Structure 1
Amino acid sequence: MATSRWNRLLRQMAHPFKRGTLRRTLVIYLMIACLVPSALLAGYTYTAMHGILKNKIQTGIEAGLKQEATGIENLLSNLDFVSKQFALDGQTAAKVNAFLNTDRMTEKVELSMNIEDNLNVVNFTNPNLGLMAYINEQADVPILFSNLSVRDDFQLGKLPVFVKFNGSVYYGPHRTQYKNSENIVFSSLREVKTSAGQPLFIYLESNYNIFRKLMSSNWYGMPVYHYLINDQNEVLFADEGEAPFAEEELKWEQAKQPDAEWGEHYLFGYESVQGWKLVTAVEKQVFNYEIDEWVRRIVLLFLGSCCLAILIAMLIWRRVYGSLRKVNREIVRMTGEREAPVRRVEIEEFDQVLSNFQVMKNTVNELIDEIAKNERNKSRLEMEKLLSQINPHFLHNTLNSVQWMARANGQDDIDRVVTLLVRILHYNMGKQSLIVTVRDELEALRHYIDLQSIRYEDDLEFIIAVEPEALSIPVPRFLLQPMVENAIYHGKHEMKSIIHITISIRGEQVELKVQDNGPGMELDKIRQLLSPSGEAQSFGMGIGLNYVQRLLERCYGSASRLHIERAPGGGTCLSVVIPVKMEEIRYD
């Protein structure tokens, strides 16, 4: 049971976006509407922002590189300035010269203490300086004076030469010669002029921690690697740890180029006026981290837009689909509950459709009612026709027998009446076409008038006026007689009843008018005669105007008009307006 239910659910979910469905079209259009602007915006912003971010990162690295290089230049300049103080002039240089020229121990001790005090004072006033020492490499003890303890294995020849300028030699970066420290420093060596003729040098080191402060990734905001190139173009890796690539592989000619690269690193170089160079290497992944992070956010935004577009499309689809189901339910419900009103769905567009459907439903119901009504009228007409044709041969034969008996007995009046009656019945109850001409209708009407004249003698007068062009116009059979019959029985006058019968052509229409000089019909009586549910008249042929009205509707539909009104001079005017042309074949 559970398996069959699951399979049924899978079948219902299959192909949710198959071709030709409104859901698929809606999702595609919404995705295009959401994603195309996002894609264009992402492409444009990537083109603009990539350059902006790259320039920002590159400018930051170059600013950090310049900051470091300026710090090294200032450090070397400071070493140069202080070494000149110790070597060329000042009290310290004079005391050192005096120390070298005297042989008195007491004086040497005093001068030695004064020189060391001066070194300490200079070191105190210059916090960027570390170890300071006077060196005589030819002496048994090379270190004459120093402010800090010097390593026992100190040798100038082992120090890496960095650059030579302004009469000094600069070393570094190298391990400090202060015996109680392992920090990396820069150092300088300048010859001191003495009168003793002995080679004497002033040796200065930078502060024990200033190098790491200068050569730090904090200036860049990202990890970088430092390479220093001396004035002999020898490369030295200046950071702790393992170098990203060998020192001998780095060439200044390559590093100084814009957007220089080496393997997986970008290179940035700075050339100092002092004759040395500083190169920083940045991993491409680190360099592009901010750009890649921005790209990832754009991609996430793009994917989010996709998901949002699909979600919105599904929500809209659910709303539209629910309304469509309700509309479909109303259409299906019409077959079983034709008279039930349409239910709204509270969505303006669908409610408009349902309103139009309600109008169509009302129209259909009206047409169905009208068809049913016409079928009932048709059945009644057929019944009336059937009743009127009951054994017509028997009736004709009987009347013919009366006619011959009247002639045999010399009763001419009876013979005439029976002859007129036979002609009227033969016309009305015959099997000829339902459509006749005005001429035929007038001929039958004259037989009816002659018959009525015998009955009413001189109390009834008929005046017929017909345009010759109207005689050949087709009209339904038995149309004029009910109109004249109505005028006879509703238009009686105290003195003499006069009935005018007029047939005239008006453009594409023909008017048949019967007017009497009687007292005129009341409005209620007119409405009763024209009402489909009105009682059939009990005089004459017993057919009346209801028959005329139904006959016009069947033959002409809405193109015909039956009208009754009081005449201005008294009496009632009954008029019928029909088209000149009609489709006779429909009614044969």
Structure 2
Amino acid sequence: MKENVKSFLYDYLTLKKRIFIIFLCSTLIPFICIVLISYYAIYSILTNKIQSGIQSNLKQVELSLESTISNLNHVSQQLAFAGSVGKKLDQMLSLPASQSFERSQMISELKDELSLVTFTNPNIGLTLYYFQNDHTYDLENSGVKENFSPEKLPLLAEYSGISYYGPHLSNNQFDNNFVLSARRKVDLPLRDDVYVYIETGFHLTQNILNNDQFGGTNFHVFLDNNGRIAFSELPDTFVKDTIFPSFSNEKTFGTYNEFYWFRQASNQGWSIVSVIPKADYNREMNQWFVQILLFSLLFLGMSLLMAWLLWKMVYLPLNGFNREIKLMAQNRVQTVTVRTKIPEFDFLLHQFRQMREQIWNLFAEVEQKEKRRVDLEVEKLLYQINPHFLMNTLDTVHWLAVMNGQNEIDRLVSSLNKLLHYNLGKLGQASTIYEEIEALKQYLILQQIRYDFKFDVQMNVDEEVWNMPVPRFILQPLVENSLYHGLSDDGYIKVDVSLTNAILISIHDNGSGMSEETIHNLLHNPETENKKVGMGIGLNYVKRMLESQYGDQADLSIKSVIGKGTTILVSLPIMEVKSRHD
């Protein structure tokens, strides 16, 4: 998966595309973050504003309706309880039909009383007495529509012996507005089916419902004490005489289909619900969103334009680089120096031209060195003739010594011949511990003959390391160093080669030892010790060889005590030794 992503980025995302993507991300991401933060902030502000406005308006409507219902209750009390109107109504109903004159005179007096009551309450409309058993009415203060029946009206609330209806169309034949009405039983000694019926005044209820400060389409739904829909301005969605969706006394806000609704409960238990289409509810927010979208498109266009200008600014210098590279490949030089008018790119072009000159100079130098290398190869072949001639001559001396019985000379020449054969090999080539030990033995034979004294050399080598690769010619210089630093006739040299996590080589002698200054010069300042014949050169070679072959993984250290001896410790990692060719 990761490889596929890398391949896609390499094959398809050119520099132009990457510049566009990076520039768009660097400009659009902060802008999008600001837009999102602004959107949620504005959304919260507008939502709180709209909801607060709707709830405030709904509260005002509820208070107005409560005031209206309270007024209906007050007027119904005047017309229903014992008093001048009640006494006259009782007297009128007790008169026999034969006393028509007295009856009509009393009806006229009752109408005057009713007119006085309605006059002092301008918010009261149709008023009459309703006889439930006969389904008749009397003493109405205005014309009544046919088929008048309070039982068919939508019941809003009922308590304390009074029933409230509405909103519903007025039963006044001269009024087609929505009204609220109340029906209260009149306590008469002769009849118990008499009720006073009162409606709100002309346009009162309609004015209350239309007192909307939201600014959009707003519908109203009235609920009775049990959540039943008594009146609905959206009868298709909120069906009359059904329970309001998700009704709960604690829930005052919700959504249903494509509407938001807000409920305000009255002190009497009935509720008024304001229903708003979601489109109107979100209209102001959508307007703000459209403005932000237009601004975003403008900002995107400006970002694309800036990205294109940035690309052009990079594209022209890249073309200049491309021409320079093509001319370099053709071994040509551009006659006219092109400038990009961008300091950084002009500096890079200048650096590139200097690099091109240096490369051409290096090509010429390599060509000369190649010619010199051929000459050195011929010279090297000539120099190789002398060592082979020397070895062949020593071999002849060896056989002459054998023929004449010169065993000491035979032993000397054989050891020298073997040692030369080993040491004349390429110094950088890998050898083994076994080969190093064998060459060291030949060297010690020569040294014992040369110094004409016997010294003890002890060699302890683990079998596991015999065939492990090591650099050629590292043991002999270390042992030679022990011989040069005060080894006496009764001296000894102990060579230990062991295997742990690395190849450990230890060369210990019981010579005169060395000072710390001498050790420091041998390891870090070999020129000082080189002034002494034969001292420091071989050790310096071993140190350089280990650094070349192993880097920091090998370690060479010297420990010495004056008068007691010296120990040289070498630690080699177990690895393949690099071969250094001449």
Q: TM-score, normalised by structure 2?
A: 0.49
Q: TM-score, normalised by structure 1?
A: 0.48
- Structure with bigger gyration radius: 1
